[in-house]
Chains A and B, each alone.
Chain A
Amino acid sequence: MSAHTHTQPQPIGGVIFTRPVIILAAFAGLAGALIVWRFAAGLGATTALNDGYPWGLWIAFDVVTGTALSCGGYAVALLVYILNKGKYHPLIRPALVTSAFGYSIAGLSVMIDIGRPWLAYKLPLFWHWNLNSVLLEVALCIITYTIVLWLELSPAFLERAKSSSVSALRRLGEIGLPIARKSLLWLTAFGMLLPTMHQSALGSLLLLSGPRLNPLWSTTLLPLLFLLSCIAMGFGAVVIEGSLSALFLRRKPETDMLAGLGSAMRPLLVLYLGIRLIDLAVRGQLGALFAFDLYSVMALLEMALLVVALVLLASDAQRRDLGNLFRAAMLLILAGALYRFDTFLVAFSPGAHWAYFPNVTEILITAGLVAGEIAGYIILIKLFPIVAGAPRRALAHS
């Protein structure tokens, strides 16, 4: 890692409240107003959720898909700290920021989705814990991991504090930074353990719905498949975020690193596809896979997206073509998102007379939360040392 030539992370600087940030913030504000309405009027009046489909967009997208997309921090940390690929180190802080925002949004969505959030303070009361509840594991892990993610970013905030003009903040930075740096290794290890646990547990959640889950998705290997696919989605998210920030912040893209991530995705995708197909074969479901009904088409589509992504990532030259790499990353994120939507909404069938499609309020709240997340990311990298690498230039307009 000492070999890499990149500079230390630095604040991007520039105007904070640019037009894109203001527009994003307006969307977030609209979502805020709708959230107030949801709490005043209840879930029935404001959402399309019902007793057949008690979990909808907020769980399937904001929580289950959103946290998988936020596995960039986890995926890159595995690469850097466990596989010892130090050259990817500059990607860690930006990935951690997206992860921290993504998990915070997921936590916020859960608080909007649950019916009795004022009792959520009881979750840490261990004498009430039902250790058989997979959801309890997911909830506690996600709460802890969100805190760990922000703590992992504490050096960035403390570095900034150290160079502040306020003397109290300077002192905080000087005292805090060595402590934060010393504890970082232990935090980071924790930050790799927690997603391993809860990303797989997100798959285990549906084991309980087994009798009402389509056999194409209902397997005891759900936790393993969810874990593999979240790491792949994490890499995909880092590629997309790296390409977009290079584009919008007009910086030199980290082509070497992003191409390397593209290469790292391949064994994961092959493993996932292999396990999925072997599992279907062992359970005698290959016939159902090619029945070409709704379920079969959805499952085939998930796998086809991954196969196309693999083809796009086939050669080194293809992976170094950023447009091509970007498309492959999009495809595998789409495949992962589709897998999660399929498992939680399509494959789950509570009976013929139940139906669910998210209504406008649900969609606007989700969109507003994502908008707030993007605005937060932009503001954070402008104020704090997150992004490393190419020299700053031409920043004034974005």
Chain B
Amino acid sequence: MGISRRTALKAMAGATATSVATTLAPQESKAALVVPRPDALGMLYDSTRCIGCKACMVACNEANDLTPDTAASGGLWHMPVDLNEHAKNIIKLYRDTAKGEQSFVKRQCMHCLDPACVGACMLGALQKGDYGIVRYNPDLCIGCRYCEMGCPFNILKFEWSKAVPKMVKCELCRHRIAEGKGPACCEVCPVGAVIYGKRADLLAEAHRRIAERPDFYVQRVYGEHEVGGTQVLYLTHVDFEKLGLPAYGDDSVPERARSLQHTIYKGFIAPVALYGLLAAVMIRNRKSSGAAEEGES
């Protein structure tokens, strides 16, 4: 009895330790490499060109049938204070008067190459669809909001005001792409601050702009590598973090949980083995204590 118990405990501890060790080990060394699909579409936002007119916000609401958020403007006009159930797209202002530094920033879904929200979603309501667009299907959404817990950019929003709520996020105007048009925000921008196209082309254009004015731009295209890469890319002349684009590493966000889950539950062998082991130890213990009929209840 003593032996079987010890064996069982050792096996349990061993299984846990190996799974933890195997997931820890590759964690440190492996640089995330997420390869974008060749047809991946995206946007390039150049904060140095943006004039802050917010025409893109109005166009977005019109294209996506969103009601305006007039709470902060005394009922006058669409004036959300952040992305929310009325705003899939927003222009924010960063201003540092002491440094004499100022920039607008446009925020919407980044369409990550390996999105945390897609990894979170239980039934696949959020998925990487055509052109790598992170799309939302309310028919498979139970409203758990784990996607919001996961998204490193705080993009997904929930319709808190409704008794029958949905999630709200930019889907790169995929309903317009089907009609041969681009995202409403890109089409309406009067100064070309945000443009739309294939990610590969946009990335090349971004690097071309940096090469052309190396003293002006920050020498980095945000979204080229961050969290494994995103399909929306950013150029700016101020610190990206000032614009609310954190200095994340190159590892994709869902990879850590995914590799852990896949190690522990590979082929579902470990749970089945543990179940067999638990039952075997119970049977052995019951026999050895000779109280079969009492061992239950």
Q: Which of B263-297 contact A (CB under 8 A)?
A: 265, 271, 274-275, 278-279, 281-283, 285-286, 288-291, 293-297
Q: How far is the CB of A123 from chain B (nearest CB, A)?
A: 7
Cβ of A83 and Cβ of B143 under 8 Å apart?
A: no
Cβ of A196 and Cβ of B297 under 8 Å apart?
A: no
Cβ of B163 and Cβ of A190 under 8 Å apart?
A: no
Residues of chain A within 8 A (CB-CB) of B123 are 122-123, 125, 128-130, 136
User: In the complex, which of the residues B23, B84, B142, B295 contacts A117, with contact meaning CB atoms closer than 8 Å?
Assistant: B142
* Cα–Cα, bound, A136→B122 (Å): 5
Cβ of B297 and Cβ of A9 under 8 Å apart?
A: yes
Q: Indicate whether B214 reaches chain A with its CB closer than 8 angstroms.
A: no
Cβ of A83 and Cβ of B145 under 8 Å apart?
A: no
Q: Indicate whether A315 reaches chain B with its CB closer than 8 angstroms.
A: no
Cβ of B282 and Cβ of A188 under 8 Å apart?
A: yes
**Residue on A nearest B27 in the bound complex, by CB:** A220
Q: Indicate whether B246 reaches chain A with its CB closer than 8 angstroms.
A: yes
Cβ of B120 and Cβ of A122 under 8 Å apart?
A: no
Q: A45-B161, A128-B123, A351-B154 are in contact. Are A82 and B144 (CB under 8 A)?
A: no
Residues of chain B within 8 A (CB-CB) of A210 are 253, 256
Cβ of A1 and Cβ of B148 under 8 Å apart?
A: no
Q: Which of B81-119 contact A (CB under 8 A)?
A: 82-84, 116, 118-119
Q: How far is the CB of A224 from chain B (nearest CB, A)?
A: 6
* Cα–Cα, bound, A223→B17 (Å): 11
Q: A49-B160, A209-B149 are in contact. Are A193 and B271 (CB under 8 A)?
A: yes
Q: Indicate whether A189 reaches chain B with its CB closer than 8 angstroms.
A: yes
Q: Indicate whether A242 reaches chain B with its CB closer than 8 angstroms.
A: no
Residues of chain A within 8 A (CB-CB) of B297 are 8-9, 93, 155-156, 159, 181, 184
Identify which of B1-9, B42-50, B174-182 touches chain A: B1-9
* Cα–Cα, bound, A190→B271 (Å): 10
Chain B residues packing against A (C-beta within 8 Å) = 1, 5, 8-9, 12, 16, 20, 23-24, 27, 82-84, 116, 118-124, 138-146, 148-150, 152, 154, 156-166, 227, 244, 246, 248, 253-254, 256-258, 260-261, 265, 271, 274-275, 278-279, 281-283, 285-286, 288-291, 293-297
Chain A residues packing against B (C-beta within 8 Å) = 1-2, 8-9, 39-45, 49-52, 54-55, 81-84, 86, 89, 93, 110, 113-117, 119-120, 122-123, 125, 128-137, 139, 155-156, 159, 181, 184-186, 188-190, 192-193, 196-197, 204-212, 220-221, 223-224, 227, 348, 350-351, 353
